[in-house]
Amino acid sequence: MSAQSDDKLLTTAVAAAAAGAALAVAAMKMTEKGGRDKKGKVSASEVPKRPSFIFADPDREVINTGSKAVLFPHNHEEKMKRRIATRVAVEEDNLTPRNSVTVKVPATSANFGPGYDCIGMAVDLWSEVTVSRAKEFKITAEGEGADDMPKDETNLLCTGIKAAFEAANKPVPILSYHVVSRIPYARGLGSSSAAIVAGIVAGLVLAGHRLPCWGSEALLQVAASIEGHPDNVAPAIYGGIQIGIHSGVRWVSERAPFPPGLQLVMFIPDFVGKTSAARSVLSDTITRQEAAFNIGRTAMLIHSLCTSNLDNLRYGVEDKLHQPQRGDKLYPYLFPMIEAAENAGASCAYLSGAGPTVMALTSGASGDIFTQNERERVDHAVAKAMLAVAQSHGIKGNLLVTQGSHEGAKVVKVDPPFSTQDITYRDNI
C-alpha cells in the first residue's frame, strides 16, 4: 500500500471521529435540554428504565394506589392485590348460605423430625364430615375412634364451626354432624387438626362466607389460633409439606417440595398417645449444642426435599428437642424401629407428631404400586422390619402403607350446589 493511500485512510478516520464526536455532543445537549429542569436536575421521567419487569399490563394500572411498581415472579401477594382491585363484584350465588356440606380432610404428620411445631405433611388418609342445618343438635360417628369421639359441643368440629360463623359475624345455627373417621384417633396423625379444619371449612360454606388468603392466610390464622401451632393445620388446609412460622404479626406458611416416588409406611400402635403427656416430658430449656443440631438438621431436611436427595433424609429427620425424650420416657420401641426401617431400605423414619405412630418414608414407587414389580420398592421389607420390632417390644398395632397428599381439605358435596348450568365444578359440586 502506498503512502498516498495511507494518508487518505488517516484523513477519513479523523473525519469520522470528528463527526462522531459532534453527534455525541449534539445528543448530550438534546438530552440535557429535555431532561433537566430549571435547576439543572434530571427529571425522573427522563431517566431510562431497564426492561427488567416481568408483568406490567397498562390496562391494570388503575389500582387503588395508582402504583406502576415492577412485579417480579415472587410478588404473589401484590399480583393478587391487583387482581382483586379489578374485580368489581363477586357472584352473589357463591355467597349464599348453604343447607348442608360434606368436607374431606387429610391426616397429617407433624414435626417431620427436627421441625418441632413448624413442619408437617398431609397424608393420603381422609376423614369425611357432613354438617347440616337441623332442628336439634346431634353428632354421630363411624370408623376410627368413633366411640372415643366427644358427642357434645366440646368436639373440635364444633369449635371450628363456631370460629367460622364468628368470622362471618353470624350466629351459629342448630346443626347436625356425621363423621366418617379414617384418621386414627390420638395417634400422632392430626385427628384434632382435621376436626378443626373440617369444622372451619364446613362453617364458612354454611355461612356463605369467604376469607382472604393472599397476604393474610385468614383461614390459617383461625385454625392455628385454635390449635396453637401450624404444623398440622397448614398441611390439613393446603396439602403437601408445609413450613409454618409466626412472623410476629401473623402465621405464615410455605410449601416444600415432595419428591416423586415416596411412600409412607406407618406403624400405628393400638394405644392412644395424649399430646399433653407427650409435651410434659420435654424440657423447658435446651442447650446451644441442641439448638445448633436442630437448626442444621432442619436445613438438611429442606435441602434434601428440594433436591430430591433421598439419601440425606435420614440425617434431615434427626432431632434433639423431642424425639429422644419421648423415646426414652414414652415409646421405648421408637429408635429400634427407626433403625430397623432404615436398615431395611427406608430413606428415613421419625416419630409422627407427638406419637405413638412411627413414620417411615420409602422410595421407588411409580404409578399404581399394585401394577409395579415389588423388587423395585422397599415398602414391604420396611413394613416387615417395623412389625418385627413392635413384636419384640410387645406392642400391638397396625401397619399402613400410603402416600403423601398434595391436596388439603376440600368440599365434596354441598346443598344447594355451587355448580350451575353454565359452570360446573369438579365432581359437580
Q: Is the pLDDT of residue 94 over 70?
A: no
Q: Is the pLDDT of residue 192 over 70?
A: yes
Predicted local distance difference test score (pLDDT) of residue 56: 34
pLDDT confidence tier of residue 375, bands split at 50, 70 and 90 = confident
Give the cell for residue 194.
382435621
Sign of CA dihedral 63, 65, 68, 74: negative
Condensed to tens digits (0 to 9), the pLDDT of residues 274-283 reads 888 888 999 8
Predicted local distance difference test score (pLDDT) of residue 274: 81
CA distance 248 to 148: 37
Mean pLDDT estimate for the chain: 84
Q: Is the pLDDT of residue 52 over 60?
A: no
Condensed to tens digits (0 to 9), the pLDDT of residues 159-177 reads 999 999 999 999 999 999 9
Give the cell for residue 363.
422410595
User: Where do we find the cell 427522563?
Assistant: 46
Predicted local distance difference test score (pLDDT) of residue 421: 87
Point out the least confidently predicted range of 44-48, 159-163, 245-249, 283-287. Answer: 44-48
Q: Is the pLDDT of residue 158 over 80?
A: yes
Q: Is the pLDDT of residue 51 over 90?
A: no
Q: Is the pLDDT of residue 242 over 90?
A: yes
Query: Can you give the pTM of this predicted structure?
Result: 0.79
Name the burial class of residue 206, with classes exposed (0-12), middle (13-18) and buried (19+) by CB atoms within 10 angstroms of its CB: buried
Q: Is the pLDDT of residue 50 over 90?
A: no
The string of DSSP letters for 339-386 reads: HHHHHTT-SEEEE-TTSS-EEEEE----S-GGGS-GGG--HHHHHHHH
Point out the least confidently predicted range of 185-194, 212-221, 308-317, 402-411. Answer: 212-221
Q: Which of 59-63's residues contact partners 24+ apart within 8 Å by CB, and which partners? A: 60/86
User: Which residues, 6 or more positions from 368, have their beta carbon under 8 angstroms from its beta carbon?
Assistant: none
